[in-house]
Structures are given as structure tokens and as C-alpha cells.
Amino acid sequence: MTEQRGNWSSNAGFILAATGSAIGLGNLWKFPFITWNNNGGAFVLVYLVCIVAVGLPIMMAELLIGRKTQKSAVGALKEAVGPLWGLVGGWGVLCGFILLSYYTVIAGWSLFYFSKTIGWSFSGFPAGLDSGALFGEQVSNAGLQLGLSLGFSCATISIVYFGVQRGIERIARVSLPILFVILLLLLFSALGMSGSGEALAFIFRPDFAKLEPSSILEALGHSFFTLSLGMGAMITYGSYIDRNHSIVKASAVIVLLDTVIALVATVIMFSVIFSVPGMEDQVGSSTVGMLFISLPELFYSEVPFGNILGPLFYVLVAVAALTSTISLLEVVASYIIDEHGVERHKATLMCGGAVFVFTILAALSFSDVPILSTMHIFGDGDNAKIGWFSTADHFVSNWMLPTGGFAITVAAGWFMTREATEGELVDHTAPAWFKYGVWRFFIRFVAPIAVGSIIIAVIFFGVDFS
Ligand code: TRP
């Protein structure tokens, strides 16, 4: 490697970038939806336990492996654990590649709804417009889908192109504060709506009678997805941290922010939904339903200042998705940069281009393209994953992230020495509340058992996390 490796310019910059990776469609699109499907309350509580007991320790493990070796996923695991572990890193790179390819398509939808809501804010929401039909038309319009995802891919590529400080960190510094402000505005507006009380009760009042065993596994699976764990993204971001900052503190802040944002987004969406009689029955039939079918219309009929908040909301979704797509591309590009000595600009263009080929497949999955719209490998009946897009999402969420996460916990807990991990976590920067022994217990026992149970659930009981 000829050039000096990138580094974050400051701790705040790193934390914003990593938080940006974590906060994404998982928070705004998946979490509210699965909370809805799993009857709120008790599910949310279980999710919070998973975040603290599994997500937080693994976040620390990934960041420490990255910082220790100053290498991205493949090189880091090879150096920290052993040559064969490069395969686990490679699995992560592949996972990032596939995830990015279809994530970009959903991100593209936020651009579509942004432009729609801008129009509606000026001309009014068209009377009698069928939002479900509008959604169906846009996803099945092949040209539109290709255009939207190409636009989003170019944005992602052009940021990663400029590297860690001048690209990723700079965008995160601007985007994250904007995201927090928009979300806060939406929250104030939502709390004033008539359905907010019911929404809060639904989300925060646990009723364990409504909790199904599969919900526990779903909560665990989602905690990986939402924190960007299990595929080396945090190893890669960790590799750009210097030694003067505490990984423990950074992990706590990232995990806390991600969780708060997911909860706030859910409060906002449910407040809107509960304010409209009959709306409860309409949402929930599909994952995309809430974000792209129910909400757009409600901004114009229910939400105070919806004319302004509607477009802002879709900017929020796009920005949140962008700070996640850049981290996904960074995982793939940094592998080529670190392991194959390719220069960053070239590596970014190559990887971005290669991923886009697969984005095309995902973007066309809702048009009448044979195989892409009809392939069926996973699931049966109501749960069948039909088409390339759903197949890829299912494979990543149910197989790749849990298996990658399992390997990483085992690596950090059982294959790395106590000195190696303790040296990274416990130093003059470590906060007083941190107890290394507790972390070690969680990473050796609690996390692998929990994650192992997801994998077993998926294999033997066909549980679905996507
Ligand atoms: N955390 C992102 C979200 O909540 C999605 C994601 C999963 C991700 N794994 C990742 C993003 C790895 C970047 C890197 O939407």
C-alpha cells in the first residue's frame, strides 16, 4: 500500500459516521413495521434487551478488531484471529455487496416520494388518489426504478470516492444533525395528534401475552441489521479510529442514538396511524405499506404542517439511507483497497459499478421481468419470498448477518486472547462504568448463544427475519 490509510479527523466525526451507518432504513422502514406486526410493547422491550445484551458487546468487538489491526474486514480478521478467518471477512464483504445492491432500490423510492410530496405540497394532494396503486405503478415502472437507483448509486459512489475524511465523515457531519432536527420537528407534530396516546401505549406498554416466541428471534435478528453488525462494517469504520478515543464510549453512544431514533420514528408513524380511524387495518399488510403507502397521504390529511413535514420526511429517509449506503460501499471498496492495493478512486468506481449491476436486478424485480420477478427459493404460502429483491433481502437478513455475527463473536470471545481484547477496551480512555469481565462474559456466552439460536431457528423452524 503506497498511500497513507484514511483516518477520522475527530472522535465526533467518527461517531457521527458510524451512527449514520447504523441509522437507516432499518430504523425508519423495518423497525416500525416489525413492531407493528409483533404487537408493540413486549416486543420493543425484548428488542431493547437484545440491543444491550448482544448488539452492544458485538459493536465493541467489531470496533476493537478494526482499530487493533487498522485494516478492513478481511485483513483485520486474518491478522487478529488467523488466516482462515479472512473467509469470514470475505463473507462480510459479499454480504455488504448484496445488501447494498437492493438497499439502493428502496432508497430510490424515498427520492420518488420526495419529488411527489414536493408537488403535492404546492398543488394539494390529488382527490381520490389511490396511494397503493401509485406505489404499485412506481415500483413496476422499470425505467423509473433504474433511474432512481442509478441516481442514488451515483450519490453513494461520489461520497466514498473522496475517502474517509473528505467524503464519509464530511457528509455525516452535515447529514446527521439535519436528520435529528427533522425528526424532532416530526415528533413534536406527531405528539400533538389525537392518536399519540394510543401510539405511546402500543409501543411502551408491554403485554407479554401478545409476545410470540418467533418475536424474540426477530428482535435479535433486527438488532444486527439496525446496528450494521455481522458483516464487518464496524470493523472497517473501527480501522480508521486512533488510539486516543474510547471504543467503549463510542459504542455506547452509537447504540443509544440508533435505538432512540428507531423509537422516535415509531412514535411518529404510529401517532399518525392511530389518529385515523380504520387506518390500523390498512397498514401492516406489507413491509413497504407504512412508509410509502399510508404515510404520504396522511401528511396531507392529518399531520399539522404536513405540507412542509411531508417532503422533509422523505428527505430524512433519503439522508438516513445515504449514510448507510456509503458505509456499505466502504466495506466493499476498502477490501479492494487494503487487500489488493487498488487506489481508492479506482476501487470505488469499480466496486460501485459492480454493485450497480446487481442493483439493476433488484430494481427490475417488481416489473414483469421473468425470473427476476418470479424466482422463488425461500418461504412458502403467505411467507413466500418471490422475486430477486425479496430473495436477496431474505438471504442477507436471515443467513448472512446472523452467521457473520456468530463468527465475529466467536472470534472475539474465544479465538482472540484476553490481553488482545482487554488492551483495546481498557485503557486511560475507558469510562468508569465499563467492566471488562462483563463484556467478556457477554461476548463469550450470551451473544453466541443468542445468535446461535437465531441460526438454529432459521434452519430448523424456518423463522423469517426479513
Ligand atoms: N444499519 C442499516 C439500517 O439500519 C442497515 C445495515 C445493515 C447496514 N448492515 C449494514 C448499513 C452494514 C451499513 C453497513 O438501515
| Cα-to-centroid distance, 77 and ligand 1 (Å) | 20
pLDDT at 301: 85
pLDDT at 3 over 70: no
pLDDT at 2: 39
Residue 187 binned pLDDT confidence (cut-offs 50, 70, 90): very high
Q: What is the C-alpha to C-alpha distance for residues 201 and 1, in angstroms, rounded to an integer?
A: 55
Query: 323: helix, coil or strand?
Result: helix
Q: What is the C-alpha to C-alpha distance for residues 276 and 280, in angstroms, rounded to an integer?
A: 8
Q: What is the C-alpha to C-alpha distance for residues 15 and 18, in angstroms, rounded to an integer?
A: 5
The whole-chain average pLDDT of the chain stands at: 92
Q: Which residues pair with 386 in a beta bridge?
A: 376
What average pLDDT does range 125-151 have in this prediction?
A: 93
| Cα-to-centroid distance, 416 and ligand 1 (Å) | 26
CB 194 within 8 A of CB 254: no
Comparing 235-239, 291-295, 349-353, the range with the smallest average pLDDT is 291-295
Between residues 74 and 303, the one the model is more confident about: 74
Amino acid at 69: T
Q: Convert the pLDDT of each residue in 370-413 to its tens digit.
A: 889 889 998 877 778 889 998 999 899 888 999 999 999 999 99
pLDDT at 9: 92
Q: What is the C-alpha to C-alpha distance for residues 45 and 311, in angstroms, rounded to an integer?
A: 32
pLDDT at 1: 41
Q: Which of 99, 266, 323, 400 to mutate to test the pocket of ligand 1 (most atoms within 8 A of CB)?
A: 99
pTM for this prediction: 0.94
What average pLDDT does range 146-167 have in this prediction?
A: 96
Q: What is the C-alpha to C-alpha distance for residues 337 and 1, in angstroms, rounded to an integer?
A: 8
Of 355, 397, 391, nearest in space to 101 by CA: 355
Residue 295 binned pLDDT confidence (cut-offs 50, 70, 90): confident
CB 324 within 8 A of CB 25: yes
C-alpha cell at position 279: 387506518
| Cα-to-centroid distance, 430 and ligand 1 (Å) | 26
Q: Which of 21, 72, 94, 335 to mutate to test the pocket of ligand 1 (most atoms within 8 A of CB)?
A: 21
Three-point CA angle 321, 325, 330, nearest 5°: 155
| Cα-to-centroid distance, 215 and ligand 1 (Å) | 20
Q: Which residues pair with 376 in a beta bridge?
A: 386
What's the alpha-carbon Rg for the chain, to the nearest Å?
21
| Cα-to-centroid distance, 277 and ligand 1 (Å) | 34
pLDDT at 285 over 60: no
C-alpha cell at position 435: 467492566
Q: What is the C-alpha to C-alpha distance for residues 57 and 445, in angstroms, rounded to an integer?
A: 11
Could you tell me how many residues make up the chain? Answer: 466
Q: Which residues contact 272 (CB under 8 A, 6 or more apart)?
A: 190, 193, 195, 294, 295, 298, 302, 303
What average pLDDT does range 416-440 have in this prediction?
A: 94
Of 248, 170, 222, nearest in space to 8 by CA: 170
Given the CA of residue 229, which atom of ligand 1 is nearest to it? 9
Task: Tell me the CA distances in angstroms from 256 to 11, 88, 114, 226, 227, one per residue in order.
Answer: 16, 27, 28, 12, 10
pLDDT at 165 over 80: yes
Q: What is the C-alpha to C-alpha distance for residues 189 and 268, in angstroms, rounded to an integer?
A: 8
In this structure, how many other beta carbons lie within 10 angstroms of the beta carbon of residue 205?
12
| Cα-to-centroid distance, 304 and ligand 1 (Å) | 31
pLDDT at 131: 85
What average pLDDT does range 353-376 have in this prediction?
A: 93
Q: Which of 91, 225, 263 to mutate to test the pocket of ligand 1 (most atoms within 8 A of CB)?
A: 225
Q: What is the C-alpha to C-alpha distance for residues 332 and 178, in angstroms, rounded to an integer?
A: 27
| Residue given cell 449514520 in the structure block | 20
Given the CA of residue 231, which atom of ligand 1 is nearest to it? 12
Given the CA of residue 227, which atom of ligand 1 is nearest to it? 1
Sign of the dihedral defined by the CA atoms of residues 39, 42, 43, 44, in that order: positive
Residue 287 binned pLDDT confidence (cut-offs 50, 70, 90): low
In this structure, how many other beta carbons lie within 10 angstroms of the beta carbon of residue 83?
9
C-alpha cell at position 324: 448507510
Output the residue whose Cα is nearest ligand 1's atom 9. Answer: 228
pLDDT at 44 over 50: yes
Given the CA of residue 226, which atom of ligand 1 is nearest to it? 4
| Cα-to-centroid distance, 105 and ligand 1 (Å) | 14
| Cα-to-centroid distance, 100 and ligand 1 (Å) | 9
| Protein residues whose CB sits closer than 6 Å to any atom of ligand 1 | 21-22, 24-27, 99, 225-226, 228, 231, 233, 324, 327-328
3-state secondary structure 45-67: HHHHHHHHHHHHHHHHHHHHHHH
In this structure, how many other beta carbons lie within 10 angstroms of the beta carbon of residue 294?
21
pLDDT at 142: 96
What average pLDDT does range 125-137 have in this prediction?
A: 89
Between residues 33 and 347, the one the model is more confident about: 347
| Cα-to-centroid distance, 418 and ligand 1 (Å) | 29
Q: What is the C-alpha to C-alpha distance for residues 437 and 316, in angstroms, rounded to an integer?
A: 39
Residue 212 binned pLDDT confidence (cut-offs 50, 70, 90): confident
Residue 284 binned pLDDT confidence (cut-offs 50, 70, 90): low
Output the residue whose Cα is nearest ligand 1's atom 8. Answer: 228
Comparing 16-20, 90-94, 292-296, 340-344, the range with the smallest average pLDDT is 292-296
